[in-house]
Structure 1
Amino acid sequence: MRGIVAALALAVTTTAVAGAPAQGQALPTIVLVHGAFADATSWDGVAALLRHRGYHVVTPDNPLRGPAKDAAAIQRTLDTLSGPVVLVGHSYGGFVISNVHDPKVESLVYVAAFAPAQGEVAQSALDPIRFPGSQLLPPTLQAAIVDDAEGLAGKNIDGYIAPDRFDAVFAQDVDSATAAQMIAHQRSIALAANIEPSGPTSWSSTPSWYLVSGADHVIPPASQRFMAQRMGARTAEINSSHASLVSRPEDVTAVIESAVFR
C-alpha cells in the first residue's frame, strides 16, 4: 500500500519534482490543524507516522470560534517556532490555514478541507445547488448554546454532529471503536464561523497540495475538486470518508511528505 500511495503522491506533483532535502538541510516543522467536530487527537495517526520519519510535529488547538480568531491562535503557535513550516489543515482547518500569513510557511496541505477565496464563507462550499451531496444538515447537524467568554453575554450558538449520525456522515470508513473515540473527542464550532468571510488567502502565494476524499459526506467531492483546481493545488484523490486523516493516515502522510520534498 505504501508504494501505491507514494506513487500517487509523486504523480500529482506535476509542477515540482519530489526528492530528498539537500545535505544538511533541516526538515521543516509540520503543523497539523484540526477542523470542526474534532480536536487535535484526530491527527494522532498521521503525527505518529511523521514523527517516526524524523519530523518535528505540532498539533495546536484550533478554538473553532471563527476564521480570524482561529488563524490568530494558529499564528501564536507559529510564533514559537523557528525554521520552515509545512502547514496542514483538515476540513474547517483548511479555512483557518488559508487565513494564516507567515513567511516561515513554505507549503500548505489541504485534507478534505475548505479552501476559500477572499471574501468567501465556508458555507458556500456546501451549496446544495452547485455542490449537492453534503449530509451536514439537520437532524445530523445539531445546535446548542455553549459558554463562550468571547460570545454575547458569555454565550454562543455552536453546531455539532448528532452522536448517532457521526460515524455514518463523518467517518463511515472508520471502525466502530475508533469512531466512538472520535465522538468522545468531538468539539463544537461556533455556527457564525461558517458565515464569516475569509480574508486574503495564503494559498494565493504559497505552494499548495490538496487531498480529496472521494466518498466524503460532509464536503462534497465535487466541491473539493473545484477548490483544489481554483487554487492551482497539486491534487490527489482517495476513496475515503471526510475523516481520511484517521482512516487513511498513510495516504495523508504521503501527500504531506510530497509537500516537504517539493
Structure 2
Amino acid sequence: MSKPTVVLVHGAFADASSWEPVTRLLQEQGFPVIAAANPLRGLTGDATYTKSIVESVDGPVVLVGHSYGGAVITNTGAANLSALVYVAAFAPDEGEAVGELDAKYQGAASKVTIPHPLPDGGVELTVDPAKYHENFAPDVDATTAAAYAAAQRPIAVAAFGEPTGHPAWKSVPSFYAVATNDHMIPPNGQREMAARMKSTTIEVEAGHAAMFGQPKAIAELIIAAAGE
C-alpha cells in the first residue's frame, strides 16, 4: 500500500527549508514530501494556494502546519486530506483571526517584530534578527539561528486580521505537537487549541521552531497521523 503524501506548510518568519530536518526523516521512511512555499500574503490567498498543492496530489495527503501555517491548513478544505498536523501552531475556529489568538495568548510576536511599509500602503513584519534566536529558534546554535533569521520570509500584517472560514479540523482528524518552551505561542495556548480540536496531542521540549529541536518527535507524529 502506498504511503500518503506529506505537505508541509511553514509559518511566518521562516521558509520551506525550515522543514528540512523533518523532510529528511520522512523521506528516509519512504514518504513523498512537498515543502510548500507559503506566500504569507493573506490567509485566504495562502489557503487557496495550499489547497491547489494538496489537490494536485493523486491520493491522500497529511497536511502539516507550523505557527501561522496552522491557520493556513485549518482553511485548506480538500477532499483528499487524511489528517492535519499542527506543530506549535495556530488553530483558529470559524470567525477567529490569528491576530486575535495571538493577543489572547500573549505571545512574543508584537515585542520582537519589525514593521516594513509596502508600496501599496500595507505593512509586513519580520522578526528582529537580534531576537530571533531566543524567541523563534532557541534549539539551534546562535550561528545557525542567525542564518535562519537572515533568510526569514516576511508576512503581511493583513494576514493576521483575516477571519477563518469553516475549519478543516472539524471534519479531518487532527494531531498537535505542543512546544513546551515556546515564546511565540505560549504552550498553554497551544494546549487549549489542541483540546478544542480534540487532537491527538504530544508535548515536546522545544522552542517555537520545534522541527529544529525535536525533528524526530515531529516526524513520528506525522507518521502516526499517516496511520503507520
TM class by smaller structure: over 0.9
1:58 maps to which residue? 34
- 1:131 CA drift (Å): 2.9
1:233 maps to which residue? 199
Q: Does residue 49 of structure 1 match 2:36? A: no
Paired with 1:226 and 1:202, the residues of 2 have a C-alpha distance of: 17
1:16-165 alignment runs, 5 A limit? 25-127=1-103, 130-132=104-106, 134-138=107-111, 140-146=112-118, 152=120, 156-165=122-131
- Superposition RMSD in Å: 1.2
- Deviation string, structure 1 residues 213-243 (Cα, Å, up to 9, x no partner): 0110000111100000001101111111001
Q: Does residue 218 of structure 1 match 2:180? A: no
Contact kept, 8 Å, 1:94 with 1:114, in 2: the verdict is yes
Structure with a larger share of its residues in helix: 2
The one-letter code of the counterpart of 1:189 is: I
The one-letter code of the counterpart of 1:141 is: T
* Comparing 177-186 and 111-120, the one that deviates more: 177-186
Instruction: Structure 2 unaligned segments of length 5 or more: list them.
Output: none
Q: Secondary structure at the match of 2:19?
A: helix
Paired with 2:193 and 2:124, the residues of 1 have a C-alpha distance of: 26
- 1:99 CA drift (Å): 0.3
- 1:181 CA drift (Å): 2.0
Q: Secondary structure at the match of 1:137?
A: helix
Structure 1 or 2, whichever has the larger Rg, is: 1
Q: Secondary structure at the match of 1:47?
A: helix
Contact kept, 8 Å, 1:209 with 1:259, in 2: the verdict is yes
Paired with 1:110 and 1:45, the residues of 2 have a C-alpha distance of: 16
The one-letter code of the counterpart of 1:110 is: Y
2:171 maps to which residue? 205
Paired with 2:82 and 2:70, the residues of 1 have a C-alpha distance of: 15
The one-letter code of the counterpart of 2:25 is: L
Q: Secondary structure at the match of 1:200?
A: coil
The one-letter code of the counterpart of 1:137 is: S
Number of residue pairs matched by the alignment: 228
The one-letter code of the counterpart of 2:177 is: L
Instruction: Structure 1 unaligned segments of length 5 or more: list them.
Output: 1-24
Paired with 1:88 and 1:111, the residues of 2 have a C-alpha distance of: 7
Contact kept, 8 Å, 2:205 with 2:214, in 1: the verdict is no
With normalisation by structure 1, the TM-score equals: 0.84
Contact kept, 8 Å, 1:125 with 1:219, in 2: the verdict is no
With normalisation by structure 2, the TM-score equals: 0.96
| Identical counterparts, % of pairs | 42
- 1:67 CA drift (Å): 1.1
- 1:200 CA drift (Å): 0.6
The one-letter code of the counterpart of 2:109 is: L
Q: Secondary structure at the match of 2:139?
A: coil
Paired with 2:175 and 2:63, the residues of 1 have a C-alpha distance of: 10
Contact kept, 8 Å, 1:88 with 1:97, in 2: the verdict is yes
